[in-house]
Amino acid sequence: MRHFPLVILMAVVATLSGTVLAQGSANFPAKPVTLISPYPPGNTSDAELRIYQENLNDLWKPQSLLVDYKPGAGGIIANNFVARSAPDGHTLVYTAATISMLPAFRDDLPYDIFKDLSPVISTTTKIFVLAVHPSFPARTYEEYISYAKANPGKVTWSTVGAGGALHMTGEWLAAATGIKLSFIHYKGGAQAEVDLIAGRIDSSPKGAVSALPQVKAGKIRVLAIITGERSAILPGMRTVAERSPAEFGIPGFSYPSWVGVLAPGATPPAIVEKLNADFLKAINSPKALKSFEAIDSIIVGTSSDGFRKLLVSEVAHWKKLVKDNSIRIE
């Protein structure tokens, strides 16, 4: 072995390592996989989690996908639990855009999003709209921005927590259009919806499908789509991003409604790719497509590398927004 050429030895080791990884991924999962949710049971995310379960259980028989709940601290508890879990692909975390916002506010996170967690897949997204109470003076998006400019701090905007996606989208809109909004932070979306319908708050981002019955009933009014694509259920309603500067358009503006799955950071690449492939099969099954349509989720299905690039881009975006506008949260 002393005289074995080094280059050949390295090639043999690489081949053996690749074989072991391939065999490991072929036998995956070897036991039930646990997907940690950062939200409490009964949250709206449960509908999506059930779709994963039903379709991955079909794919992974006799193994299964289990869901466990570790809510609190804006997702930090769940993220850290998975970051410290065995990197074998059997413990994952369900995540949303807030994970990319936390580094903008916290330099003391107990995990590094890019070292301690490994992106598996961004699964779906939703269409969101800007909704107002019918009594609000503005009838259009342009009038909304003009009214807010003329009345700094008077227009209220609901969130479900400081530093979350609803809040940061409002901060982005305000910074890009030169307005000042007053953010009302609720503990949950249900009370925010009650207050919007009652007229106790002026405006709120809402999922398009959940907003539609209230629009038809005249309880709220939609001014614009705040994600990057139009919705067939709101024909003619334009996005903020597609509008001209004169109409207070914001290039690239999109409410970050994506969700996805992460594994521990040291999970072998072959296992990550197996997870990605299995999730892709599961979310694109005929049964899943019908279920996602019912809850207004649009399938994205990125590669693991595509999800990583999304996270890198969004972490940078939110850090810049927070720094440039001196945004603080309590």
Residues with Cβ within 8 Å of 293's Cβ and at least 6 positions away in sequence, in order, are none
What number does CATH give the domain 128-247? 3.40.190.10
Q: For residue 207, list its beta bridge partners.
A: 128
Cα–Cα dist 238/227, whole Å: 10
Q: Tens digits of per-residue pLDDT, 73-95?
A: 889 999 999 999 999 999 999 99
What is the mean pLDDT of the segment spanning 227-254? 95
| Delimiting residues of CATH 3.40.190.150 domain(s) in the chain | 31-124+257-325
Q: Tens digits of per-residue pLDDT, 182-212?
A: 999 998 888 999 999 999 999 999 999 889 9
Q: Tens digits of per-residue pLDDT, 108-161?
A: 999 999 999 999 999 999 999 999 999 999 999 999 999 999 999 999 999 988
| Delimiting residues of CATH 3.40.190.10 domain(s) in the chain | 128-247
Cα angle, residue 74 at apex, residues 73 and 76 outer, rounded to 5°: 65
Q: Residue 103 CA to chain centroid, in angstroms?
A: 15
Cα–Cα dist 227/242, whole Å: 10
The alpha carbon dihedral of 186, 188, 189, 192 has a sign of negative
Contact 304, 270 (CB under 8 A): no
Residues with Cβ within 8 Å of 251's Cβ and at least 6 positions away in sequence, in order, are 241
* pTM (predicted TM-score): 0.88
Residue 3 pLDDT > 80: no
pLDDT value of residue 25: 78
3-state per-residue secondary structure call for 316-330? HHHHHHHHHHCCCCC
- Closest among 174, 206, 175, 178 to 193, alpha carbons compared: 206
The alpha carbon dihedral of 9, 13, 16, 19 has a sign of negative
Residues found in the chain: 330
Residues with Cβ within 8 Å of 224's Cβ and at least 6 positions away in sequence, in order, are 129, 130, 141, 237, 238, 239, 240, 243
Domain 31-124+257-325 indexed as CATH 3.40.190.150:
yes
Q: Residue 291 CA to chain centroid, in angstroms?
A: 19
pLDDT value of residue 13: 43
Place 4 in a pLDDT band, splitting at 50, 70 and 90.
Answer: very low
Q: Tens digits of per-residue pLDDT, 60-70?
A: 999 999 999 99
pLDDT value of residue 316: 97
Cα–Cα dist 251/59, whole Å: 41
Residues with Cβ within 8 Å of 280's Cβ and at least 6 positions away in sequence, in order, are 121, 301
Place 295 in a pLDDT band, splitting at 50, 70 and 90.
Answer: confident
Q: In what order do the strands lie in the sheet with 182-185?
A: 182-185, 156-159, 203-207, 128-132, 221-225
Place 24 in a pLDDT band, splitting at 50, 70 and 90.
Answer: low
Average pLDDT value over all residues in the chain: 92
Cα–Cα dist 56/269, whole Å: 20
